[in-house]
A and B are shown apart, each in its own frame.
Chain A
Amino acid sequence: MNSLIYALLMLAVAAFMPRAQAETIVIAGSTTLIPYIQQASEAYRKMHPDVRFTIHAGGSTAGLGEVLGGHAHIGMMSRELNEKEAAHMDGFRHLPVAVDAITPVVSDEVFESGLSRISMLSLAAVYRGEISNWRALGGPDKPILLIDRETYHGTRQVFARYVLNDALAPVANDAVVLEGNADVANIIRASDQAIAYLSLAYLDEHVHALAIETEQGVFAADEQGVKNGNYPLARRLYLVLPKQTRPAVRDFVRFVLSGEGQKLVREAGFIPLR
């Protein structure tokens, strides 16, 4: 009887204990990372239901700014820091969490016509507007619908730096300029003549990657190519966070870097660090 009474007393005490305070982690930045961060946060919430996430897109640059300005706990970046930015990183961490590759993508009809690779020079020519029909590349006789991204996106900067030798280089002015990766993927799916560049995470059965042909050879944006460093458009994806931050934030980042977190990296379509 005594143990029953103790159990009931414990129950009563537990009933009156204040519930744990819910924490919200604000994450902002690169749209490239969003699919992964969403999956990671959902997985993390299953273990820590008291933690909530608010995730904004906005691009790598904006994500860095939000963290530096103290408006977000974690910034997502799909590119390296430039010199200017690196100067502001005192007290902050620029933490690689995954490896990504940017790959040229084309619509079903183009891919199905047999076009599966493109040389770096051709790609540059297409983006400069010097090539405007798929026929010139060995594809169907269709004008090329050229898709570009806004210049503040990490993906665009990485792509432009490699392909056009300048992160902010302009492209042919009849290109359709879009905001997010998802919109780019949508237009590739909807069209039968479009070309764009996308993160590995956005590839699917209607969004086809083209291998890149360089002087060194032909490289596909696969794990092997990326990991052995042969694929030219590989990049690392980063989280930015203050060195002094809340325990819940630190714990989430630890989760991202853990084996389980890295498994999700692959599920999201990226390549894990290890």
Chain B
Amino acid sequence: MVHDNDMGGMRISASFLIAFAAGLAIVIATAVALFQLKSYLTGQALDNLQRVNNKVAFTLHRQLDEMVLDGRSLLRRADVRAMVLKALEKSADAQTRLDLRRLLASSLFEHHYRGFYLIGRNGRIVMSMKDADAGTGLPREPAEIIRRLDAGEQAIISHPFRYRGRTEMWMIMGISAADGGNIGYLAIIAGDRHRFTRTTSITGVAFESTETYLVDRRGYMLSESRFDDQLLATGLLQPGMTSTLNLRIADPGVNRLEQAKAGMVSAQAPLTLAVTRVLEEGSGWSTQPYRDYRGVPVMGAWQWDKGLNAAIITEVDVDEALAGYVYARNIIIALLLVVFLGGLLASRLYSRVLVRSERESNRHRNLLLESSAGGIYGIDERGRCTFINQAALNMLGYEEREVIGRNMHELIHYAYPDGDAYPIDECNIYRSHRQKTRVHCDDECFWHKDGHAVHVEYWSHPLFEEDRAIGSVVTFLDITPQLQAEREREKMENQVQHTQRLESLGVLAGGIAHDFNNLLAAILGNASLVESNILKDPIKAKERVAMIIQSAEKAGGLCKQLLAYSGKGQFILKPVDISKVVEEMSHLLEVSIDKSVVMKYHLAADLPRVMVDEAQVQQVILNLITNANDAIDGKSGVIAVTTGIMQVDRHYLADCYGNRPEPGRYIYVEVSDTGCGMSRETIRKVFDPFFTTKVSGRGLGMSAVLGIVRGHKGALKVYSEEGRGTTFKFLLPVDESVRLASTGETGLRQMRQFEGGTVLVVDDEETVREMACVMLEEMGFDTLTASNGEEALALYEQHRDRILLVLSDLTMPRMGGNELFSRLRTMDPDCRVILSSGYSAEDAIQQFSGKGLAGFIQKPYTAEALNEEVSRILGDGE
């Protein structure tokens, strides 16, 4: 079973750390950005406040200047001045007063003033819009202004003050006499448009909460609060009161908008920060929030205006000034939250998907593991089991919990099959991750829980993580049944071989009996002739005796061969030359086949010897030939027996029968017939014991052959085509040590040396040409070479005195060997030509018979074959 792993946990915690760090970075960056935004917005708000404050100051001055201008232009009018002076000098009658009132009223009321007071030198009202005012005194504020006017000032605008139940503001000018002193004063009553509030409530406000107000030295408001409604609602003002002159700009201590109905603020309450500072320092500002007269946190800018003799304070609620900041902050927090939650959701979904797919893949893996008939387990680099499948547990007799985490070598692999201790350092399995290589082994065993050995074939495959082997996966099969089957099969094969031997002996015996019969017949016949002639014709009798002796000798040879075949019951390996074995068997073989069948031998000379049991090899050959004979089935046909040596690769061995033969050099014996051939079906079953296509066969021959081939670590190849024939190729591995030894014995076979002379070698294939030259030069010849017939003709013409022989290929471009031969013969009838070709010698000889062809050599040829052919042509005398 595969369980969830710690690596996953580590990965998750690592990614959590990364996510946490990224989140922290985002939060820090956001905090910095928000701080920047806040200070930017604070700066903006302050700029705004100062701009508004300055604008209010400027507008107020202009507004007051206009009042002064209005007053002056009025007084400058001659009719007004004349009537005013008249009114001041003596008490005017009703009509005069009406006229003056009309005159002033049409100017003043049109400019939104509320009336006028003509004040005498004595500080008492001389005249106004109402007769009743005449003679009344002035309130404190205008009286003070008149003193200042007498001191030299031209026109002064009062602060608001209470007069007859109303809040009034007067602009008072001196009316100068000719000598320069004031003979009276004209006060013009400001209308709504001339109040401070007119400017503070229009120029001094902005947005929702910016307001500008004027405060006198005592800390009382001179303009009207923008928030009169709030002040009334929170009890900071009594109903019917306006803020002008009634509102002391004191800090109520709490935000009164949040704690309404707390009543008036005590007269001892400290003034707000703005008022305190403006009274102490003049101009200034505060971006640090402080409470205004409503207790609302504000930031403000202020200045002390000397002309107005009042402070101009502009303030904005912090909430509004930083609304943009709060807005942006909320959006960013919302976005961050969305991103965070989105990320959380995504990661949850992702991990759910991950877990599901991991579970799925685990399920698949488990299914794979559990459905495998082979045992599979994993080990970490220290050899402890990380997982194991049920098949493995079944084979080893353990429970999963008994195995996981245990050292597998100590648990199941502690001893060799023979019981010797298997040190952990030598463990083949661990080698795979120690050496990062795949390990295969089929001769060790795992130990069952109950202590018996389980013979296994196992593969250990290293597991890598970034080039580091972190463990191995071991796959194994219980091969105990196979081993047993193998043993049984061997036993069976031995029996089959034995039986087969007896069977072929029977076949052999039949043939031999026939021969012996003939020989005995000859002996008997001759003996009876001797008997009858010995006295009549002793000479004839002697001839018969000689024939008897000859027949007896033949019979003796036959016996010797029979003995050689049957006399060796035991498996005795010795170095053998296969060609010789075939050669020695030839008589035996010939008696075993039908007379209509021709045996052909192509036996390679000087084959390396192979270590074989000669008798068994003989039986293989005999079996193959008997089968070939049976395949020809009494018709005329050819059985060819060829021996040779060849290099065999894995690919070639892939479709060979045998016991896992290894690539290398092999000696082969090929038996091919021109018989009926075999179907694919037959080929598949040909080695099965007791399978036969013959009427009388017992079906053991081929299985015996395969058994013998296996026994010699050889291979067997079958080619067959139905109706065309069959070829069995029986391969025996060359024992290199034997070959070396035999080389010392037979490799020194003398090649005949020649004394000079030139051979013209004609072949279009350069390698063949050069090889022939080397061989011929070793024999003592000089060589000339030509790559085609035309060249060869030219060379022959040029060097015909020197040339002993022409060795020519048969097939060449431009002019082939055939034409070259006839042209040479025409040119020089004594010319000796050896043709070489891939075709068989028989074909070539047939084609050139009677045409004077000196010789033929079949390609590829050995130095020995060439030497032999050359010797034959040049004759011993050469």
Contacts and interface: CB of A to CB of B under 8 A. Distances in A.
A191 B338 contact: no
Interface string B187-226: 0010100000000000000000000000000000000000
B334 A11 contact: yes
B334 A178 contact: no
Interface in B509-531: none
Interface in B105-119: 105-106, 109-110, 112-115
Interface stretch (B83-91, B125-133, B474-482, B832-840): B125-133
A206 B585 CA distance: 162
A16 to B, nearest CB: 8
Interface stretch (B94-102, B144-152, B801-809): B94-102
A237 B189 CA distance: 33
Given A15-B330, A15-B331, A190-B115, A5 B341 contact: yes
Contacts of A165: none
A174 B342 CA distance: 83
B114 A190 contact: yes
A58 to B, nearest CB: 15
A12 B334 contact: yes
Contacts of A178: 106, 109-110
A193 interface: yes
Contacts of B114: 186, 189-190
B341 A145 contact: no
Interface residues of A, number: 28
A8 B341 contact: yes
B110 A179 contact: yes
A12 B332 CA distance: 9
Contacts of A192: 129-132
Nearest to A11: B334
A5 B337 CA distance: 8
Contacts of B189: 190
Contacts of B327: 15
Interface in A5-56: 5, 8-9, 11-12, 15-16
A187 B342 contact: no
Given A8-B341, A191-B101, A186 B331 contact: no
B98 A186 contact: no
B136 to A, nearest CB: 14
A143 B331 CA distance: 72
B130 A4 contact: no
B106 A9 contact: no
Given A145-B101, A176-B106, A186-B109, A4 B341 contact: yes
B28 interface: no
B341 A176 contact: no
Given A12-B335, A12-B338, A191-B129, A5 B345 contact: yes
A8 B334 contact: yes
B315 to A, nearest CB: 22
A187 B334 contact: no
Nearest to A5: B341
A176 B109 contact: yes
A39 to B, nearest CB: 15
B105 A145 contact: yes
Contacts of A4: 341
B105 A142 contact: no
A109 interface: yes
Contacts of B337: 8
A1 interface: yes
Given A15-B331, A183-B109, A8 B338 contact: yes
A44 B341 CA distance: 42
Contacts of B331: 12, 15-16
A177 interface: yes
Interface string B60-85: 00000000000000000000000000
Nearest to B112: A183
B392 to A, nearest CB: 46
Interface in B322-381: 327, 330-331, 334-335, 337-338, 341-342, 345
Interface string A102-125: 000000010000000000000000
B348 to A, nearest CB: 9
Nearest to B105: A176
A190 B338 contact: no
A6 to B, nearest CB: 10
Contacts of B101: 145, 191
A9 B339 CA distance: 10
B345 A177 contact: no
B135 to A, nearest CB: 15
Contacts of A142: 94, 131
Interface string A181-224: 01110110111110000000000000000000000000000000
A186 B338 contact: no
A186 B331 CA distance: 53
B130 A190 contact: yes
Interface string A146-177: 00000000000000000000000000001011
A192 B105 CA distance: 13
B335 A186 contact: no
B337 to A, nearest CB: 5
B499 to A, nearest CB: 85
Contacts of A190: 105, 109, 114-115, 129-130, 189
A109 B130 contact: yes
Interface centre among A142, A176, A179, by most B CB within 10 Å?
A176
Contacts of A16: 331
A16 B191 CA distance: 47
A190 B110 CA distance: 13
A51 to B, nearest CB: 16
Interface of A: 1, 4-5, 8-9, 11-12, 15-16, 109, 142-143, 145, 174, 176-179, 182-184, 186-187, 189-193
15 contacts: A1-B341, A8-B334, A11-B334, A15-B330, A15-B334, A16-B331, A109-B130, A142-B94, A142-B131, A183-B109, A183-B112, A184-B109, A186-B113, A190-B115, A190-B189
Closest 3 A/B residue pairs (Cβ): A190-B115, A192-B130, A190-B129
Interface of B: 94-95, 98, 101-102, 105-106, 109-110, 112-115, 129-132, 189, 191, 327, 330-331, 334-335, 337-338, 341-342, 345
Given A15-B331, A176-B102, A187-B105, 17 more contacts: A4-B341, A8-B338, A142-B94, A143-B94, A145-B98, A145-B101, A174-B102, A176-B105, A182-B112, A183-B112, A186-B114, A186-B191, A187-B129, A191-B105, A191-B130, A192-B131, A193-B98
